[in-house]
Amino acid sequence: MNPVLQVSGLSKAFHLHLHGGKHLPVVEGVDFVVNAGECVVLGGPSGAGKSSILKAIYGNYLANSGAIILDDGETAMDVVTASPGAIITLRRHTMGYVSQFLRVIPRVPALEIVAEAARAAGLPADEALERAGRLLAHLNLPERLWNLPPATFSGGEQQRVNIARGFAGNHRFLILDEPTASLDAVNREAVIGLIAERKAQGTAFLGIFHDTEVRERVADRIIDVTRFSPAKEIAA
Amino acid sequence: MSRTAENYRGYNFAYLDEQTKRMIRRAILKAIAIPGYQVPFASREMPMPYGWGTGGVQVTAAILGPSDVLKVIDQGADDTTNAVSIRQFFEKTAGVETTTETEKATVIQTRHRIPEAKLQGHQVLVYQVPIPEPLRFLEPRETETRTLHALAEYGLMHVRLYEDIAQHGHIAKTYAYPVLVADRYVMDPSPIPKFDNPKMDDCAALQLFGAGREKRIYAIPPYTKVVSLDFEDHPFEATKFEQPCALCGATDSYLDEVITDDQGGRMFVCSDTHHCETRRCEGHVGHLGMPVTEAAE
Amino acid sequence: MTNLSASPLLVAEGLSKFYGSRIGCRNVNFALQPGEVLAIVGESGSGKTTLLNLLSGQLAPNAGAVRYRMRDGETKNLLDLSEAERRFLARTDWGFVHQDARNGLRMGVSAGGNIGERLMGVGDRHYGRIRETARGWLDRVEIDTSRIDDKPTQFSGGMRQRLQIARNLVTHPRLVFMDEPTGGLDVSVQARLLDLIRGLVADLGLAVVLVTHDLAVARLLSHRILVMKDGHVIEAGLTDRVLDDPQEAYTQLLVSSVLAA
């Protein structure tokens, strides 16, 4: 086994200063590993803390305790204690994030959005454009849309631009937060194909998929996050 | 200095009191020591309005001695109101000899011209200056322009020239054309035509500049490098005239346009009246002039 | 692009500034990497502008130091620089984009002259070349090059800001200070300007210290955020972390007070 991500003792709570200092624990004692070439899916009902775990791993949420060790191929780094600069570097080269929604950047054409992600990962400009085109084609985005900014695209079209952007780099670890939510069957299939292709190349995946069919197809393991739920302890 | 016979009218020699002259001389010495640098001085009220040369008059009064010979020109002419009244002022208050001949003068006070005749080492040229600060129109804050001078940050001067070329296709500034003195200070040469700018460079005479209203004195010591600002691809060029002087035929002097009738008739004549007269006395005749001997008859 | 292996470009060490008994800012510490965009956010009067003026050497601190790595690689305390050195630095290796373009432009000078000023300031004496460079920059900031001889007074607010940016970038500075660069502009004009800034910052690898009270601007442009309140830095971190998971009460208030930043 070749672990890319090792999460241990992770806990996350929100402290709401504006609401009388309410303390909202979300998850506690999160422990799991994701190996190279493996797709691990987080399961559990909505509100169980699946998204919070993904965001803590990406550095978007601040973990309250525990360790999130990410191996960038050379050294292992703890996201919980890493400096902002180190996290930016990790995001550029090691871990990618595909969210449910495309945060639209005004005026930048779809192809350029994807190519920019490839360039950020270190690809030369021409190769980046080529890869961007290949990804958009694979995801069935009509070529006439490539040079338009996605602001006016449909939800599904925007989501495919978003996925293409997420897959454009050479990240060895990809976080997928409901990437197929707004896609039709054909395009879900295309995404499943992309995941399989990258898994074969050794990319590690950690994701949330509500669609049971997709989940069954891509998951090597499913982790039920309710077992990290702090509720029991509060009740006790 | 003691009173001389000429001061009978109750004025100290050359109008200003000796304390004031001393103060002005100190400013002049400092100005000479730092070529092109504007030295503040306590400008006095003079019995003439600002704009009539109060700065130049104070400088002249401070450097004049009883044996000096004074020439005063206004736009090159010895016989205009401003020149005549300043000349009379010093005749009255200092009793010095005056002249219209450039070569005979030891002190020449000028407004807006440098004489055509090459100046000599024993001569002093005193300029009347309306606005001494060359950066004024681009940077109105005096605190800031002083800093710019102190740090020799002169990019702004070229912005001004750049704007000229952008607007007119060439550097359209024809007078008060800025110069760099002794590779250090950018200086406004007063509103002389840019035709005269080359005369300031390596000049044998001491050049003093007095701005009365703005209370500044600056100087170019003899034989100082004075360079007119320009661009590599738009080099400085002195004004050239397409025709010679109508009276004396000179081709190397600065010409004034004179309207001769109501039908648009005009002629171009030397702005330096002494220069023109001298040439005509030597027998030079322009296409509208007549020989001096005939004119006298 | 952020170059994180390099040593920092700008370091603030224990910076404090007091106005009598009032605190301008107190004990601010951070390091800015080449290519990094740092946003300083907070309400009016929180000390953002004081900090910006301290960092750019326009104000002397009561305590602390600002260290800057010069182009020759040597790191110097800004306070140790002579005024001439500091001003040279400010007009070559730095840029300063003001909220009000009138403070950053010469309103009586043409667009070309505004862009060319820095070049002439460092000794460029070739009119044709200066003009060519000015045209190139106008194009880059999306101003029609035929407007090169127009004065900024004839420009719209958005165009003035873009001209101000061009005027600053012409000497290829490594660090640009921006004070509410999109303040007072229409939303659509803001979006275009932000997009332009975002592109230029990435292409040129600029380090930016950005003062703004607009969290959306901070999210779009910056890598990292310092949140200021009453002259203190109360929270700092990765931009999306601070905005999505704010820890301090004041930051939570700030974030919850705006519509979807």
User: Do residues C234 and C184 share a domain?
Assistant: yes
- The DSSP 8-state label assigned to residue C64 in this structure reads E
- Residue A188, pLDDT > 80, answer yes
Q: Write down the pLDDT at residue C231.
A: 93
- Give yes or no for a contact between A49 and A208, defined as CB atoms under 8 angstroms apart: no
From the list C97, C37, C35, C118, the residue with the least C-alpha distance to C69 is C35
d(CA A30, CA A54): 12
Catalytic residue among B55, B56, B203, B270: B270
| B/C touch flag: 3 or more CB pairs below 8 Å | yes
Q: Write down the pLDDT at residue A139.
A: 95
Q: Write down the pLDDT at residue C2.
A: 44
Element housing C51 (H / E): helix C48-55
Q: Write down the pLDDT at residue C260.
A: 56
Average the pLDDT over A211-226 and give the result. Answer: 93
d(CA B218, CA A214): 86
From the list A23, A58, A86, A16, the residue with the least C-alpha distance to C241 is A58
Q: Write down the pLDDT at residue C188.
A: 82
Chain C interface residues facing chain A, Cβ-Cβ under 8 Å? 1-2, 4, 33, 36, 191-192, 194-195, 198, 220, 223-224, 237-238, 240-241, 244-245, 247-249, 252-253, 256
Distance of CA B199 to the CA centre of its chain: 11
For A116-128, the pLDDT digits (tens) are 999 988 899 999 9
* C-alpha dihedral (B248, B254, B257, B258), degrees to nearest 10: -40
Chain C neighbours, 3+ Cβ pairs < 8 A: A, B
- Give yes or no for a contact between A175 and A54, defined as CB atoms under 8 angstroms apart: yes
Question: pLDDT exceeding 90 applies to what percent of chain A?
Answer: 75
Structure tokens at C198: 């975002």
d(CA B174, CA B192): 9
| Radius of gyration in angstroms for the set of CA atoms belonging to chain C, rounded to a whole number | 18
β-strand partners of B83 = none
Q: Write down the pLDDT at residue B294.
A: 55
User: Do residues C240 and C112 share a domain?
Assistant: no
Chain B residue with the nearest C-alpha to that of C113: B159
Average the pLDDT over C253-261 and give the result. Answer: 76
Measure Cα distances from C60 to A103, A224, B20, B289, C77 in Å.
41, 57, 41, 71, 12
Between C202 and C126, the more confident residue is: C126
CATH of residue C214's domain is 3.40.50.300
Chain B neighbours, 3+ Cβ pairs < 8 A: C
CB contact under 8 A, C120 and B232: no
Q: Write down the pLDDT at residue B9.
A: 60
Q: Which residues of C touch A115 (CB under 8 A)?
A: none
Instruction: Give the number of B-C residue pairs with CB atoms closer than 8 Å.
Output: 56
Active site residue B248: yes
User: Do residues C214 and C86 share a domain?
Assistant: yes
Measure Cα distances from B125 to A121, B57, B105, B122, B131 in Å.
71, 12, 10, 10, 18
User: Do residues C25 and C150 share a domain?
Assistant: no
Q: Please, how many CA atoms are within 13 Å of residue B171, restricted to the half-sphere of its CB? A: 26
At A2, is the pLDDT very low, low, confident or very high (cuts 50, 70, 90)?
confident
**End residue of a domain, out of C150, C172, C194:** C172
User: Do residues C138 and C201 share a domain?
Assistant: no
Chain C, 100 to 139: residues with Cβ < 8 Å from chain B are 106, 108-110, 112-113, 116-122, 125-128, 130-131
Give SS3 for B7: helix
Active site residue B203: no
Between B4 and C156, the more confident residue is: C156
User: Do residues C89 and C19 share a domain?
Assistant: yes
Active site residue B270: yes
User: Do residues C181 and C86 share a domain?
Assistant: yes
Query: Best of A57, A62, A64 to disrupt the C interface by mutation (most C CBs within 10 Å)?
Result: A62
Backbone angles phi, psi at B82, to 5 degrees: -60, -45
Q: Which residues of A touch C203 (CB under 8 A)?
A: none
Domain that holds residue C112: 108-172
User: Do residues C168 and C180 share a domain?
Assistant: no
**Distance of residue B153 Cα from the nearest chain C Cα, in angstroms:** 7
Active site residue B245: yes
**End residue of a domain, out of C172, C198, C228:** C172
Residue C103 falls inside a structural domain: no
Instruction: Mark residue A46 as left, alpha or beta (left: phi above 0; alpha: psi -120 to 50; beta: remaining).
Output: beta
Residue C201 falls inside a structural domain: yes
Question: pLDDT exceeding 90 applies to what percent of chain C?
Answer: 83
User: Do residues C70 and C159 share a domain?
Assistant: no
Active site residue B36: yes
CB contact under 8 A, C194 and A106: yes
Average pLDDT, chain C: 92
- Residue C116, pLDDT > 90, answer yes
Q: Write down the pLDDT at residue C229.
A: 95
- Residue A230, pLDDT > 90, answer no
Q: Write down the pLDDT at residue C4.
A: 46
* Residue A210, C-beta contacts closer than 8 angstroms, at least 6 positions apart: A178, A181
Query: What does the longest C-alpha to C-alpha distance in chain C come to?
Result: 57
Average the pLDDT over A209-235 and give the result. Answer: 84
Residue C102 falls inside a structural domain: no
- Residue C132, pLDDT > 80, answer yes
Q: Write down the pLDDT at residue B139.
A: 87
Average the pLDDT over C218-239 and give the result. Answer: 95
B237 touches chain C (CB under 8 A): no
Q: Which residues of B touch C84 (CB under 8 A)?
A: 151
User: Do residues C129 and C75 share a domain?
Assistant: no
* C-alpha dihedral (C40, C41, C44, C48), degrees to nearest 10: -10
Residue C101 falls inside a structural domain: no
d(CA C42, CA A197): 46
Mean pLDDT of residues grouped by 10 in chain B (297 residues)? 51 92 98 98 92 94 96 94 94 94 97 96 97 90 94 92 94 94 97 96 98 97 97 94 93 93 92 95 89 59
Chain C residue with the nearest C-alpha to that of B151: C84
Residue C1 falls inside a structural domain: no
User: Do residues C112 and C133 share a domain?
Assistant: yes
Q: Total domain count for chain C?
A: 2
Chain A neighbours, 3+ Cβ pairs < 8 A: C
Proportion of chain C in helix, strand, coil states, percent, rounded to 5 = 40, 25, 35
For C166-214, the pLDDT digits (tens) are 999 999 999 999 999 998 888 888 888 898 998 899 889 999 999 998 9
- Give yes or no for a contact between C98 and C179, defined as CB atoms under 8 angstroms apart: yes
Residue C98 falls inside a structural domain: no
Q: Write down the pLDDT at residue C97.
A: 95
Average pLDDT, chain A: 91
Chain A interface residues facing chain C, Cβ-Cβ under 8 Å? 14-18, 55, 59-62, 84-89, 105-108, 120
Residue C5 falls inside a structural domain: no
Give SS3 for C37: strand
Chain C residue with the nearest C-alpha to that of B166: C149
DSSP C176-217: EEEESTTTTS-HHHHHHHHHHHHHHHHHHT-EEEEEES-HHH
Residue C227 falls inside a structural domain: yes
A106: nearest CB among C1, C191, C237: C191
Q: Write down the pLDDT at residue A104.
A: 67
CB contact under 8 A, B167 and C120: no
**End residue of a domain, out of C172, C206, C222:** C172
User: Do residues C256 and C181 share a domain?
Assistant: yes
